[in-house]
Amino acid sequence: MVIRMDQRVRKTFSVAIIFMLLVGGIVIEKTQTLETFMLKGPAKINQYKIDAIFNDESKKIMCNQTTEYVNNTKEDLDKVYFHIYPNAFSKREYAPFEKKEMTQAYPNGFNEGYIDIKNVLSSKKKLQYEVKGEKNDILEIKLNEKIKPGDSVPIDFKYNVKLPNSLGRFGYGDNTVNVTNWFPIACVNDSRGWNLKSYEAIGDPFYSETSDFDVNLLLPRKYKLANTGIVVNDKYDEKKKMYEIEAKNVRDFAFVMSKDFDIARGRSKGVSINTYNLNKNLAHKSTEVAEDSIRIFSDLFGKYPYKGFSVVASDFYIGGMEYPMLVMIDQSLYNEKNKFLLEYVIAHEAAHQWWYSVVGNDEISEPWLDEALTEYSTVLYFENKYGKDTAEKLMKTMEVQSKSYRSENIFKPTTDYKNSTDYSLNVYTKGAVALHNVRKEVGDKVFFSTLKEYYNKNKHQNVNGRVFVDLWNSKGVDIDKIISECK
């Protein structure tokens, strides 16, 4: 999820950590009951085929999409639901930013974004649909015929997407065009029913199934493209360029464009590394961190399952954000002053490729499940690269922050936190401290073998907190007791 590096968090975090690292002589550098619901990996996965044309002048994307939707429930379905996230940007009061951040998100003033659904069909027959949700960001589609468990139905969409002039996940600034959470994506239907939560301001309000994507993008030729998946073919003339992209076993599809990218390339553990930089002086550093992240996390948790990984400098004020095979990094971190933070954020977002991209979860109801693991994985990155002393100093900083901030618990949904600071100090910081305590209690052998088992058993599925806790309990580890001591 987003690692927020706003001024307050960035200053507090960087001063505390850098002080402890430099002073140490290192140079760089009773618990709440967990919600239980049944989850199982789908026998078949949804298929998305999208043709999209980007109009640079209007900042609109004209799209045709076919989704082969698979009913992986045990019941017949007469309707299905899709998230249409761009509508969360259609009104100022909907915008998924905290009030104090609106100026940062919209430096030129509020500018709308939206998705305009033109038509929905199945087998050339019109389907009835209705835009719903607190922010008009849910699409309910009534099917002409029920689909039985295990069966699928093709759904064709025609729509236009308008990008806002916004420096968040979705929008454009002076340097980049960020196209994320932009197309109709199927809502998850688990044992709780349909998950129809809106695009909120705190945390990452996303929950999706692993799917296959075939995407054709027609873009102005001046743009360089960073994307989920692999470009399997491209064609171009003087003004336009067509990209044919395949992305298999991913839970979302995102892309970022800029005419100013300086692209550096590397390789790690057989994975092609691409870094898209706006400050070429930091291109070597960002590539090095990406390579080291893939190597370290693959060794610790299990093999990275995709062919490529991209780190993309973006007009994105929040810090960093993960998508499958691609992470967005705030371009303002690419300077010598913020070199440590740049490395920290890239490593954090890279870890999300294991905890979110491959092993998925409901990031709204249980944000701790991927975020705590990812934050502690970031500490493990520094431990493996710079030594245990560096990692211990990072953990001491987090322990001090946890104790000085009288937080509640790490198990709440994103919507129950007061603000992003409250959320971050609970879910990220306290979560990492809790996992560090688990490691100290059980020892490295059990700790890392259990995380490898968790990763390998749950690849390309969605899990919940109970799955995570039950795995530890099966090893004779009372993880509930250990975590409760961090409260």
What is the tens place of the pLDDT at every residue in 38-77? 444 555 999 999 999 999 999 999 999 999 999 999 999 9
pLDDT surpasses 50 at 8 = no
Segment 155-181 shows an average pLDDT of 98
pLDDT for position 18: 45
Residue 161 and residue 183 in contact, taking contact as beta carbons nearer than 8 Å: yes
pTM for the whole structure: 0.92
What is the per-residue pLDDT across 386-399, written as a single tens digit (0 to 9) for each? 999 999 999 999 99
- Cα torsion 141, 142, 147, 152: sign: negative
Residue 313: how many CB atoms within 10 A of its CB? 29
Computed over every residue of the chain, the mean pLDDT equals 92
Segment 413-433 shows an average pLDDT of 93
pLDDT bin (cut points 50, 70, 90) of residue 337 is: very high
Distance between CA atoms of residues 71 and 78, nearest Å: 10
CA 101, chain centre distance (Å): 20
**Category of 273 on φ-ψ map: left (φ > 0), alpha (ψ -120 to 50) or beta:** beta
Residue 247 and residue 266 in contact, taking contact as beta carbons nearer than 8 Å: no
Q: Which residues of 383-415 are buried (b: 16+ CB within 10 A; e: fewer)?
A: bbbbeeebbbbbbebbbebbeeeebebbbbbbb
What is the per-residue pLDDT across 66-124, written as a single tens digit (0 to 9) for each? 999 999 999 999 999 999 999 999 999 999 999 999 999 999 999 999 999 999 999 99
Between CA 298 and CA 304, with CA 302 as vertex, the angle to 5 degrees is 60
pLDDT for position 406: 61
- 3-state class (DSSP) for residue 352: coil
